[in-house]
Amino acid sequence: MNVNWYVLRSKPLRETALWQQAVSQGFEVFYPRIPVPAVNPRSRKVVPYFPGYMFVRVALEQVGRSTFQWMPNAHGLICFDDTPADVPDALVDAIRARVAAIMAAGGELLYGLKQGDLVTIKSGPFAGYNAIFDARLSGGDRVRVLLALLDDRQVALDLSEAQLERR
């Protein structure tokens, strides 16, 4: 019997209830969550890393697809051409590692940063300079910022988000 990871989709804002339901039924569930800055600096908020989604590891032939389709707070498994899409173990392991790194860093420090927000570069050759956040780049923790130089010219820099802090 093949035991694989699948992506389980929750109803809006019902991830925690779905996670509790699936765990109570004995399923192995990976529901990645990360801390993010809250309005009150002393409190931290925890949010889903993939809002609306989590991973469940099952032998689908044994359990049946309808188990997840009719589970309270669920929309069912993610399917392509009406076939539940399995997720490679290596991808789940990579997501676990990324979430662990975020947790070790104290949370997603740049959560909610929008294009145009001001940041300060805190390390590297441009440490101490202020910049404008432009975009998150694919491939992990890379971001693009715009650094103002002479004559009001802006130069795009691709940096690690660990090099930045909010202003």
Is residue 158, in this structure, part of any structural domain at all?
yes
Q: Do 17 and 93 belong together in one domain?
A: yes
Mean pLDDT is lowest, of 94-103, 133-142, 158-167, for 133-142
Domains in the chain, number:
2
This prediction has a pTM of 0.71
Report whether pLDDT(68) > 80. Answer: yes
Report whether pLDDT(55) > 90. Answer: yes
Could you tell me the CATH number of the domain that includes residue 129?
Answer: 2.30.30.30
Report whether pLDDT(40) > 70. Answer: no
Distance CA 156, CA 132 (A): 9
Tell me the residue range of the domain where 149 lies: 118-166
Q: For position 156, what pLDDT does the model report?
A: 86
Distance CA 42, CA 53 (A): 28
The amino acid sitting at 31 is Y
Q: Do 63 and 123 belong together in one domain?
A: no
Residue (of 98, 157, 167, 83) closest to 124 by Cα position: 157
Report whether pLDDT(120) > 90. Answer: no
Residue 59: pLDDT band by 50, 70, 90 thresholds?
A: very high
Decide which of 51, 81, 104 is a domain's last residue: 104
Is residue 110, in this structure, part of any structural domain at all?
no
Report whether pLDDT(28) > 70. Answer: yes
What Å distances lie between residue 27 and 7, 65, 104, 105, CA to CA?
13, 13, 27, 30
Residue (of 129, 120, 126) closest to 166 by Cα position: 120
Q: Do 99 and 140 belong together in one domain?
A: no
Is residue 109, in this structure, part of any structural domain at all?
no
Q: Are 131 and 116 in contact (CB under 8 A)?
A: no
| First-to-last C-alpha distance (Å) of the chain | 53
What's the mean per-residue pLDDT of the chain?
87
> Where does the chain show beta strands of DSSP type E?
4-10, 28-30, 33-37, 44-48, 53-58, 74-77, 79-80, 83-84, 86-87, 118-121, 130-136, 142-148, 154-160, 164-166
Q: Name the DSSP letter for residue 11.
A: P
Mean pLDDT is lowest, of 2-11, 80-89, 133-142, for 133-142
Q: Do 90 and 21 belong together in one domain?
A: yes
Two tokens, residue 21: 């339901």
